[in-house]
Amino acid sequence: MTGQGIGTRCVQGGYTPGNGEPRQVPIIQSTTFKYDSSEAMGRLFDLEAQGYFYSRLQNPTCDHVASKIAQMEGGVAGMLTSSGQAANFFALFNVCEAGDHIVASSSIYGGTYNLIKVTMAKMGVSSTFVPSDASEEELAAAFQPNTKALFGESLANPALTVLDIEKFARVAGEKGVPLIVDNTFPTPVNLRPLEWGANIVTHSTTKYMDGHGVAVGGAIVDGGTFDWMAHAERFPGLTTPDDSYHGIVYAERFGQAGAFITKATAQLMRDFGCTQSPQSAFYLNLGLESLHVRMPRHVENGQAVAEFLEGHPLVSSVNYPGLPSSPYYQLAQKYLPQGGCGVVSCELSGGRPMAEKFMAALRLAAIETHVADARTCCLNPATSTHRQLSDEELVAAGVPAGMIRLSCGLEDKEDLIADLSQALDACR
Ligand SMILES: *Cc1c(COP(=O)(O)O)cnc(C)c1O
């Protein structure tokens, strides 16, 4: 599939049936796999032969879909995980351990922020957060001798900041650590971070990739561009013998292209078990088959809704990187020339009471803690995800009480705008 267009990779990547085999990716609903001799199975356990033995580690359905996502991102290897949270945890924990440190953009998904800031700290991994628009000097200053990764989101959920991937990649390269980019919102249809210098890409496939709100999942793709052996002392987990695998040295045995995903599978998936079910992988693949057709429509609707809201007197501000008024417009033009996604946020002039009235009046946009599927939905962070914060704390966190996050689905934009318009009228 290398060299094929993104649409062809979405539709046909990762699975090529042989003569008389199922045209659609088969769901291999089996926990285990049968062998003729224990010797043959032993070779699999020692990672000496390729094959399946237990679906906690690997399953053919999941592998086909992971391979499709790797092809879409232009990477060399991929794996599925049970959720986006698991994908980000595995991607980070695959390169660090207790005593190590991570530098991350502060403009990231709340769940990932908690994971890094609170939970990984309990595991002995400390972190420093930097603004996503920090200068190269500020970024470099956040590094410590024990820093093992730089992390950011290509188009942040929910702040919609656009990451200057080339800048982050330059600093990561100078410091000799991989740049890990969560590419959930743009998807590889709109942005491929590996092409801009990121080393590893993660996804919450729960969002646009699935796109129909049916299956929670995650994915990790390795670009194969990070030379672990050149920084052997910094990454002992990849460059020194793994006692739990008879002394295998991942970077030696599997090379630059295979080390990262093999270790994450053989070690982290084995021990943490955050595996995706073959049934979920099948649903995910159905979503991927139309991702290149759906993303332009999400962008078209997001742009139209953002422009409508920006011109409305009851809306005090709109945040969408496709608007020239956005501070991220220039970066969006560079990294997201075909647009980013269908998520738009705006602040209503009447604060919390107006937000409540507005949302109650919407007919098409449903109130949900979800984004990025076919049906338009909305959320007022102040009364849901950020409910525990006071109005002052909400302003400090960049989510004022009157803020609404809208995820534009695949409906007709005229109908979405009519719905928003009548709901705004109801607030007058
Ligand atoms: C939703 C989301 C996650 C977490 O993914 P889950 O599948 O919900 O675990 C991580 N990163 C981003 C950018 C997200 O939008």
Q: Is residue 1 part of a domain?
A: no
Q: Is residue 320 part of a domain?
A: yes
Query: What's the CATH code of the domain at 365?
Result: 3.90.1150.10
Q: To which H or E segment does residue 40 belong?
A: helix 38-45
Per-residue tokens: 228: 């672990």
For a ligand 1 pocket test, name from 88, 183, 184 the mutation site with the most ligand atoms within 8 angstroms of its C-beta.
184
Residue at which a domain ends, from 236, 261, 286: 286
Residue at which a domain ends, from 260, 286, 312: 286
Do 183 and 129 belong to one domain? yes
User: What range does the domain containing 212 cover?
Assistant: 6-286
What's the domain count of the chain?
A: 2
What are the CB-based long-range contacts (under 8 Å, 24+) for 122-126?
A: 123/93, 123/98, 124/97, 124/98, 124/99, 124/100, 125/92, 125/93, 125/96, 125/97, 125/98, 125/99, 125/100, 125/101, 126/100, 126/101, 126/102
Do 237 and 301 belong to one domain? no
Evaluate whether 151 touches 180 at the Cβ level (below 8 Å).
Answer: yes
Do 347 and 209 belong to one domain? no
173-187 burial, b if ≥16 CB within 10 A, otherwise e?
A: bebbbbbbbbbbbbb
Q: Give the model's confidence band at 393: pLDDT under 50 very low, under 70 low, under 90 confident, else very high.
A: confident
Spatial separation of the C-alpha atoms in residues 17 and 154, rounded to whole Å: 34
Do 262 and 303 belong to one domain? no
Q: Is residue 27 part of a domain?
A: yes
Do 234 and 334 belong to one domain? no
Q: Please tell me the residue having the least CA distance from ligand 1 atom 2.
A: 204
Structure confidence at residue 420 (pLDDT): 97
Q: What is the distance in A from the centroid of ligand 1 to the CA of 10?
A: 21
Spatial separation of the C-alpha atoms in residues 404 and 359, rounded to whole Å: 9
Q: What is the distance in A from the centroid of ligand 1 to the CA of 84?
A: 5
Do 264 and 317 belong to one domain? no
Residues above pLDDT 90, as percent of the chain: 88
Q: What pLDDT, in 10s, does the model give residues 106-154? A: 999 989 999 999 999 999 999 999 999 999 999 999 999 999 999 999 9
Do 298 and 249 belong to one domain? no
- pLDDT at 72 exceeding the cut of 70: yes
Q: What is the distance in A from the centroid of ligand 1 to the CA of 80?
A: 14
Q: Is residue 149 part of a domain?
A: yes
More confident site: 298 or 428:
298
Query: What's the CATH code of the domain at 24?
Result: 3.40.640.10
Do 364 and 398 belong to one domain? yes
Do 223 and 149 belong to one domain? yes
Q: Is residue 38 part of a domain?
A: yes
Residue at which a domain ends, from 259, 286, 313: 286
Spatial separation of the C-alpha atoms in residues 93 and 80, rounded to whole Å: 16
Atom number in ligand 1 closest to CA 206: 7
Edge-first strand order for the sheet with 101-105 is: 77-81, 218-222, 200-204, 179-182, 147-153, 101-105, 126-130
The pTM score is: 0.97
Do 266 and 299 belong to one domain? no
User: Mean pLDDT, the chain, as a whole number?
Assistant: 95
Do 76 and 122 belong to one domain? yes
Residues above pLDDT 70, as percent of the chain: 100
The DSSP string of 283-319 is HHHHHHTTHHHHHHHHHHHHHHHHHHHHT-TTEEEEE
Q: What pLDDT, in 10s, does the model give residues 174-232? A: 999 999 999 999 999 999 999 999 999 999 999 999 999 999 999 999 999 999 999 99
For a ligand 1 pocket test, name from 92, 204, 370 the mutation site with the most ligand atoms within 8 angstroms of its C-beta.
204
> Which residues form ligand 1's pocket by a CB distance below 6 Å?
83-85, 109, 111-112, 153, 157, 182, 184, 204, 206-207, 216, 218
